[in-house]
Amino acid sequence: MKQLLLVFLGGGAGSALRFLISKSLNQATILPLGTLLVNVGGSLLIGFILGLGYRQQIMSTNTILLLATGFCGGFTTFSAFAYENQVFLKSGDFMSFGLYTVSSILLGLGAVFGGFYFSRLI
């Protein structure tokens, strides 16, 4: 039950922060910059957390659940990414669809690897 509560609390904090970032940035640009930022930032953070937790064994299982599963899980959003791409396709904006999809995937994967790398520097 304690672990479920940790995931719940972390997820709530991550979701609230994602809402604030997306609300302020998604309307300011043509591409959904807020969603891109939270997904790439969350990927970097989860790589760092899991690098510290599993590779460096600095964090407890409960801390990993709170931060990686809870916070990062609530902070990042695949569903918003998928919906935004559906909007691009429906409107015929194939350039934005391609740019957003490719940049999200490449930057997200790079960020996870970067997070693991940075965790080794500690």
Residue ranges for the known binding site are 73, 76
Q: What is the sign of the dihedral through the CA atoms of 80, 81, 83 and 87? A: positive
The Cα 1–Cα 57 span in angstroms is 23
Per the annotation, where are the binding residues for Na(+)? 73, 76
Spatial CA neighbour of 81 closest among 119, 26, 121, 28: 26
